[in-house]
A and B are shown apart, each in its own frame.
Chain A
Amino acid sequence: MADPGKTVVLIGGRAHREFEVLHDLGYRILYLDKRVPLHLMAWVDVPVDVDTDDWDQVAEVVRDQLDGQAPAAVLTHVEPRIPLMAHLAEQLLPVGRGLTTSAARNCRDKWHTRTVLEAAGLPVPRFGLAEATREAARIARDIGFPVVVKPRDGAGAFGVRRCETVEETRIAAGHVLDEASPDALPGVLVEEYLDGPEYAVQTITRGGKTRVLSVFRQHMTEPPVFVELGYDFPSGLAEDELRVLELLVTSVLDELGVDDWVSHTQVRLCADGFRVVEVNARRPGGRLVEMTGAVSGVDMVDAVSRLALGLPVEEGEPRATLARYRSIVFEEAGTLLYQAPPAGAFPSIVEVEVPSGDQVQPVDHPDGGVYGRILVFADSVEEVDRSERRAREALDLRVAPSDDLTWVAAETREFKSCC
């Protein structure tokens, strides 16, 4: 491969922006994934199918493609691939840069995160690690109900469940243990349920100094499952609360060893103060990158790419003082009908992830959840309300109940009589 020194090894990822940023910076992309999708081939310079669970094989592929020379950087935005990224960067780059392997592990392994932070006296929920359902039940009894059961290394809210009883804990723990992939970290976390509003905190840390880019008030469904319903900026926290939160997150990232990198941290504000729920050493998912960019002037995808490359981070001006993110969810099952708005119709982000005519499920259904999002930016509450209202009116989202119909796919076109 030509010019290894101008090549970034990018592991996984499907968002076009993640590729575009690297090309805009003048770098070529050596892209690795278990199966590189066809549509993505045009976005990369050299795509290679490789088992990303086999770190030795990945390293061998990179050395082979780059003729043994060092790449410019190793990067991933995909949560499960962060430890591999840190490992490869340490193996292949002549100078240490970005997230270290120990920081990657500290953030990826939630049990380890809690252990490290608890030892440092930083506020986390009471927790325990179980290898079997009986042990999970014991830990839950020791902590006191309600508890939350979650995978040790899950991303988002997958597998996360609030449990009120021993039986619910056993069932939830059983699901996590039985459905764990072969490369998942062993065990299941059982921890105290934190009652209080949740906040998403996005940061950038350079040379040991952390800057909070955005704090969003997070809205979730009622337990037992946790579906993200939306985010608000400003968060509604008072100035002194924001300062306390900033100090806490700075201490947390310092303790976990996160430096020259970005993070997306989730905390809850309980009666006794903030407690850390999760620390992710990556940019946030969904469209929170755009939301952070609008209110802080920093594009986190661009920022982390530059950090990985050892380049200075660019900081622009915020373009809004308010932002509202609302997930598109439904209360009932049925056929979704809506009007697709023309591209560029709104100065905001409006996305529906399924075509009109598809079946949808309620938000709390195992196959339901989020079907899209509306994200609006403005400088006044009235403008935000107006923008969201216009977007919803234009979409005209409706769910036609399908109680009286049994949906069956036709096996032939025999009964279609036209032309």
Chain B
Amino acid sequence: MAAAAQSVSAQLIQLSPAVRDSHALLASARQDFFKVAFDGDALDPKTKGAVALTAALVQGNEETVRSFLAIAKQLGLNNEEIGQVAGIVEALKPETQQRPAPQAAAAAAAPVKKASTCC
């Protein structure tokens, strides 16, 4: 998996040696945790791939999605299965939950506002 670019705060942490050293310990612990979470065998590989892809899609970072999409495919997910994973993520997004079906239909039936002609 390609290494993600450091966040601005992660870069600024380097300015304080004590904070930097503690952060390095945290980073190492996170890597160990990642390995334990991923290597566990309660889930079969394909399900693990689907779950990881789901988390990446929810997080929304394009590079993370790219990396875990590749891993999902390496673990056996095909396009249709990936499409369903993405569909579930999209269906459960907060904006969708705030617009139940009847209100969405009413909004669709309302007169269309003309686009502004300014600028």
Contact = CB atoms under 8 A, between A and B. Distances in A.
B116 to A, nearest CB: 5
Given A41-B69, A45-B78, 7 more contacts: A2-B76, A38-B62, A41-B66, A42-B79, A42-B82, A47-B70, A418-B116
Contacts of A41: 66, 69-70, 73
Contacts of B70: 36, 41, 47-49
Interface in B53-98: 62, 65-66, 69-70, 73-74, 76, 78-79, 82
A419 B116 contact: yes
A409 B105 CA distance: 40
Instruction: List the 8 closest A-B pairs by CB distance, nearest first.
Output: A418-B118, A418-B119, A38-B66, A419-B116, A47-B70, A41-B69, A418-B116, A46-B73
A65 B66 CA distance: 19
B108 interface: no
B106 to A, nearest CB: 23
B87 to A, nearest CB: 14
B2 interface: yes
A412 interface: no
A336 interface: no
Interface in B4-24: none
A37 B79 CA distance: 16
Contacts of A16: none
Interface in A40-71: 41-42, 44-49, 65
Contacts of B1: 49
B2 A35 contact: yes
A49 B74 contact: no
Nearest to B83: A42
Dominant SS at the B interface?
Answer: helix
A65 B65 contact: no
A48 B73 CA distance: 9
Nearest to B119: A418
Given A42-B79, A49-B2, A417 B73 contact: no
10 contacts: A38-B66, A41-B70, A41-B73, A44-B73, A46-B73, A47-B69, A47-B73, A65-B74, A417-B119, A418-B116
A48 B74 contact: yes
Nearest to B76: A2
Interface in B23-38: none
B74 A46 contact: yes
Contact of B118 (A49, A65, A417): A417
Dominant SS at the A interface?
Answer: loop
Interface of B: 1-2, 62, 65-66, 69-70, 73-74, 76, 78-79, 82, 116, 118-119
Contacts of A1: 74
A44 B82 CA distance: 13
A416 B116 CA distance: 13
Interface string A382-419: 00000000000000000000000000000000001111
A94 to B, nearest CB: 25
A45 B1 CA distance: 17
A373 to B, nearest CB: 30
Contacts of B78: 45
B51 to A, nearest CB: 18
A38 B2 contact: no
Interface in A337-360: none
Contacts of A419: 116, 118
Nearest to A2: B76
Given A45-B78, A48-B74, A65-B74, A38 B69 contact: yes
A49 B70 CA distance: 8
Interface in A1-20: 1-2
A419 B117 CA distance: 10
A49 B2 CA distance: 8
Nearest to B63: A38
A21 B109 CA distance: 45
Nearest to B117: A418
Nearest to A416: B119
Contacts of A42: 79, 82
A253 to B, nearest CB: 38
A38 B74 contact: no
Contacts of A417: 118-119
Contacts of B118: 417-419
